[in-house]
Structure 1
Amino acid sequence: MKNSSCLLPLLLLFLPIIVVRAAVIVGGGITVGGGGVWIGGGVSPPTSASKLTIAYAALQVWKAAITDDPLKITTSWNGPNVCSYRGVFCSDSVNFMGNPAGVVVAAIDLNHANLQGTLVKELSLLADLSLLHLNSNRFSGGVPPSFRNLASLTELDLSNNRFSGGFPTAVLYIPDLVYLDLRFNSFYGPIPEELFDKKLDAIFLNNNLFSGELPQNLGNSPASVINLAYNKLSGAIPFSLGYMGIKEILFLNNQLTGCIPQGVGMWSDLQVLDVSSNSLIGHLPDSLSCLRNIEVLNLARNQLSGELPDLLCSLRSLINLTAAANFFSGFSQDCDRNAGFGFDFTFNCIPGRELQRPQPDCTAIPGGGLSCLRIPAARPLVCGVLAGAEFTANPPP
């Protein structure tokens, strides 16, 4: 592909001429295309025609930054009719009054296109872009800071590429973003706490190089799915997680330490919890028995100890419990009945069971004396619910 350094200035050189040509000056403002009067002075928002012209300029710059296109996706990216470009989707739009405002570029879907290249700052000129899906390509570099101007963007999927650098902070300023997928890249450094204050429904950061401790405000997120697996995150799981209404959360293959917080019992909608392959220690909280909707619970390859909570294996929705490669010393009859049917207790310290650790490994259990109960209570919590600022016992039926 040709170098794009001079392409955009040349293309944009004619945009003001195209726009102003169709303009009529009214009361200090400009209205383009005869579609009404823009009140308040200044220049009116671009018309549909000018937006598509701007989109043409931006996409041509991006095309020039794509260095390999084995599937010939961008061979259709010729001429001003951007709505005919492969992977580019247009739709009718409305203005701030709810009136029809013409056709705009609303989505770009280039999943599995195997494109190689970089993102360009000019993509932020696509002001009406709602979806940008670039899964399974070979894009590299970082996310341009100008992406913060994509005010209409709701879904951003950059997964399975070769992006690198720190967390792309531009996404924190996209106001309507609800789906963020950065997995399978090489982003590194800390995860900003501002991410968990955004109204995102899905956060996929797994299989990167993110490091540092989990932000303490992780529990502020309204997301239904959070995947932080296969990074280099350290420290403890924040207690704030106890206030989440999340359905799936994955911490596997990090460097987390400390206890599983008692507050997990308040995740009433939780269906999948995976904390495997970390360095968690101590006893499991009794509140795990509150997870009535839990289907998959993976505790494997940690340093957890003590006995599994009595009611855990009797949870009706639980179909997969993996507690292998820990230091558990026992479990209830319900766990015994389910052993081998989606329940894995191998390589622990459970007397009388097969495929357990050799006895010398069980004489010095890491953190074996920790109960991990962090909330003062007169008796062990079975099913804690938050009542004001206190937990009260509420055993499941």
Structure 2
Amino acid sequence: MGNCTFLEHLSVASNFISVIIPDFLLGLPRLHELAFQDNEFTGIGNSSSPLVHLDISSNRFSGNIPDVFHNFPTLSRFVSHSNNLFGGVPPSLSNTQTISSLNLRNSSLDGPIDFNCLKMVNLVSLDLSNNNFSGNIPANLASCRKLKSLNLSINKLMTGQIPESFKNFESLSYLSLAHCSFNNLSSSLKIIQHIPNLTILVLTMNFYSEHLPFDSDLQFKTLKALVISNCRLTGSLPSWLHGLTQLQLLDLSSNQLTGSIPVNFGDFQSLFYLDLSNNSLSGGIPVTTLTKMNN
């Protein structure tokens, strides 16, 4: 295969191949995409390569992510989830200008989240969920001007606060911060509401036993999905929810909310999924709510 000089795409996904990714493949002059997911690969060679897409997810890679990404000067998409990796993100990856999509979820990566967002000018999607990252959420993430999707859920970010700089996200549309031990829901929502293009917000398993804020000044004009479940939140269904005119999904399940479902919940023109289960709500279900959802 080292003689396949015109080869541009190679997929051996979902086999039982158990080797280090060989240098002769990485050295092929036109190879732009390698799909090696769901195998038993254990390492990666050290040759320079014109790769654009590299998927090594669900293999047997272990230890630190190798600091070899200076050998991939055109790499745009790197997927390495579901391996046995630990340690941090190497400098050659956290400083690259070409990466647009980076998926490192479901490993054992740890230490601080350290990205040079002033250099990562093309980053669009970042998934670091289900790892052991700790410390602060870096304030400079908002400097990634093209970032549209950010998933930091299920980590050990114990500082408890969402950075004020999140107001400066320009392109972000998907944000998941579930299960990260955040506190001060009121302050967090006041910051997040300033993200101008946010459509999906997931805050599950945070803000334990806090009060669901009733601040009528909260506005999320572009939000289509809001999930704040499993937080043991107290209080009643707040009036600012009625201002979510684009809302399609609302999940406030597994909290400790009381009171009744407001009549104007029927004003949600696009709502197709509503989960208020496992709360302490009382009274009836407004007819307008059922009518709107049936339509």
Match of 1:205 in 2: 152
CA contact (8 A) 2:95 2:117 kept: no
CA contact (8 A) 1:225 1:247 kept: yes
**In structure 1, what is the Cα distance between the partners aligned to 2:238 and 2:258?**
11
Q: TM-score, with normalisation over the residues of structure 2?
A: 0.74
Match of 2:192 in 1: 241
Output the amino acid matched with 1:155: S
Residue 136 (1) aligns with residue 88 (2): no
- Give the total of aligned pairs: 259
**Alpha carbons of 1:79 and 1:297: their partners in 2 closer, same or farther (altered >3 Å)?**
closer
CA RMSD for the aligned pairs?
3.1
Residue 215 (1) aligns with residue 163 (2): yes
Q: Which residue, 233, 242, 265 being the options, matches 1:280?
A: 233
Match of 2:5 in 1: none
Segments of 5+ residues of structure 2 without an aligned counterpart are: 1-14, 36-48
* Larger helix fraction of residues: 1
Q: TM-score, with normalisation over the residues of structure 1?
A: 0.57
The Cα shift of 1:140 comes to 1.6
CA contact (8 A) 1:273 1:297 kept: yes
Segments of 5+ residues of structure 1 without an aligned counterpart are: 1-68, 90-102, 343-397
Match of 2:51 in 1: 105
**Alpha carbons of 1:268 and 1:301: their partners in 2 closer, same or farther (altered >3 Å)?**
same
Residue 302 (1) aligns with residue 250 (2): no
Taking only the aligned residue pairs, the percentage that are identical comes to 24
**Alpha carbons of 1:114 and 1:146: their partners in 2 closer, same or farther (altered >3 Å)?**
same
Residue 178 (1) aligns with residue 124 (2): yes
Superposition pairs of residues 110-121 of structure 1, within 5 angstroms: 110-121=56-67
The Cα shift of 1:170 comes to 4.1
CA contact (8 A) 1:214 1:238 kept: no
The Cα shift of 1:146 comes to 3.8
CA contact (8 A) 2:253 2:276 kept: yes
Higher RCO structure (Cα 8 Å, ≥6 apart): 2
**In structure 1, what is the Cα distance between the partners aligned to 2:205 and 2:26?**
48
CA contact (8 A) 1:270 1:294 kept: yes
**Alpha carbons of 1:161 and 1:86: their partners in 2 closer, same or farther (altered >3 Å)?**
farther
The Cα shift of 1:259 comes to 3.0
The Cα shift of 1:335 comes to 6.6
What secondary structure is seen at the aligned counterpart in 2 of 1:194? helix
Superposition pairs of residues 1-397 of structure 1, within 5 angstroms: 71-72=17-18, 74-78=20-24, 81-82=27-28, 88=34, 104-170=50-116, 173-199=119-145, 200-211=147-158, 212-221=160-169, 222-236=171-185, 237-244=188-195, 245-256=197-208, 257-260=210-213, 262=215, 266-330=219-283, 333-334=286-287, 337=290
**Alpha carbons of 1:213 and 1:180: their partners in 2 closer, same or farther (altered >3 Å)?**
same
**In structure 2, what is the Cα distance between the partners aligned to 1:332 and 1:80?**
61
Q: Deviations over 1:253-273 (max 9, x none)?
A: 123534346468632332211
Structure index of larger Rg: 1
CA contact (8 A) 1:242 1:266 kept: yes
